[in-house]
Amino acid sequence: MPAMTWRTPAVVLVCGTVVLLISFGTRTSFGIFLKPVSDSLGWGREVFAMAMAIQNLLWGLAQPFAGALADRFGAGRVVAAASAVYVLGVALMSVAASPLDFTLGAGVMVGLGLSGTSFPIVLAVVGRAAPVRRQSLYLGIAAAGGSSGQLLVVPLAQAVMTAWGWPAALVALALLCLAMAPLAAALAGRARHDPALPEQAMGAAIKEAGGHGGYWFLTAGFFVCGFHVAFIGTHLPAFIVDQGEAPALGALALMLIGLGNIAGSYLAGALGGRFSKKYLLSGLYFARSLVITAFVLSPVSDLSIMAFALAIGVLWLGTVPLTSGLVAQIFGVRYLATLFGFVFLSHQVGAFLGVWLGGYLFDLTGSYQGVWWIAVGLGLTAAALHFPIDERPVARLVPAAR
């Protein structure tokens, strides 16, 4: 039996999904640590927010390089190395005694770890392994499965924190992240050239995408996605506690976002295989603005918080299979990790701004109100940006369609 046959599309899908579950689930649990860490160590919220902002920015800056390494040398090696850095970063967070220590662990090391274990790397492998007609569905399944990490890891972290404190909860998360390294074996191997297409170097692929107007619109729209999910994911638990609610409700809200996210990501992937991805993205961003507006204008209650969490969860990361699928549809899958990596950089710049601005404006005004309205305006802008995108494959890919 050939040595590589065990890496079937199904095996790649399952192992990639579990890597995303752990990586994304751990990252999204950090929001429940904001208040206890800040209160325990006597820091303002901007310290924690700045560490998360640096994490998001560095994650984004490193992402194109991680994608290029994965496209050239294989995703398995990148995932394994990044997993080790991720583990060390979370462990350092648990023993941080100063803002510098915490920023080094949560910001620098976790940010670098995420660049090699998150959606751009893993979805590129899944997308290449998937049958062509089921590519969008596979991407949706992987994104949905990864999203389930928010549903599973957040309550685990909250339970450990309640029983033994936040340092123990971070140690538990570091141990969980150790499981990503062995799963990287299923993601080994690098993308191969399709003999039906003209040979293309990586530099030429980047130049081709850079000259495509739709690629820039897609990149700008993904900035808004990053702003939304980073601000809400980091600050929603603290916002809930500020309204006089129990901390457990903040964890429940993140879980409900994760629950809605599973359904939303799968649905987005399934619909992306049947309908225009750019119009689905426009509708998704517009719907986010409506949901945020309704939440801001409604009286805060247990019911309104849970309804908002579930609704925004359905709209949470459906952008990922649609955006990565659109990059693959227009430019092909050969350099998908690299090209989606640059789009994801924009996402993380938005995330940096969202998470930092939330902490900064709260410390300045004592309220998140202004940031909520900025999020609404950005959502409407992103909805408009996707309309002009030309979804047709570039001319280089036409021979493959014949």
DSSP 109-175: IHHHHHHHHSHHHHHHHHHHHS-GGGHHHHHHHHHHHHHHHHHHHHHHHHHHHHHH-HHHHHHHHHH
The CA–CA distances, whole Å, from 375 to 58, 189, 379 equal: 22, 40, 6
Fill in the DSSP letter of residue 3.
T
Q: Residues 129, 135, 139, 145: is their CA dihedral positive or negative?
A: negative
Secondary structure class of 265 (helix, strand, coil): helix
Phi-psi region of 332 (alpha: psi -120 to 50; beta: other; left: phi over 0): left
Structural domain includes residue 280: yes
Q: What is the CATH number of the domain that holds 393?
A: 1.20.1250.20
Structural domain includes residue 3: no
Q: Residue ranges of the alpha helices (H) in 213-335?
A: 213-242, 247-272, 277-297, 302-314, 319-331
Give 49's contacts (C-beta < 8 A, 6+ positions apart): 34, 234, 235, 355, 356, 358, 359, 360
Structural domain includes residue 274: yes
Phi-psi region of 42 (alpha: psi -120 to 50; beta: other; left: phi over 0): left
Structural domain includes residue 27: yes
Q: What is the pLDDT of residue 114?
A: 94
Q: Are 190 and 72 in contact (CB under 8 A)?
A: yes
Torsion angles phi and psi, residue 336, rounded to 5? -60, -40
Instruction: Give the number of domains in the chain.
Output: 1
Give 265's contacts (C-beta < 8 A, 6+ positions apart): 140, 143, 144, 146, 147, 316, 317, 318, 320, 321
Give 146's contacts (C-beta < 8 A, 6+ positions apart): 17, 19, 20, 21, 23, 24, 25, 119, 122, 265, 317
Give 294's contacts (C-beta < 8 A, 6+ positions apart): 308
Q: What is the pLDDT of residue 1?
A: 35
Structural domain includes residue 6: no
Structural domain includes residue 197: no
Residue type at 388? P
Over the chain (402 residues), the average pLDDT of each successive run of 10 is: 64 90 89 84 80 86 88 88 95 91 94 91 84 79 79 87 93 94 82 62 85 92 93 87 82 85 85 90 96 92 92 90 89 84 89 85 87 95 94 74 44
Domain of 74, in residue numbers? 11-191+202-397
Q: What is the pLDDT of residue 395?
A: 76
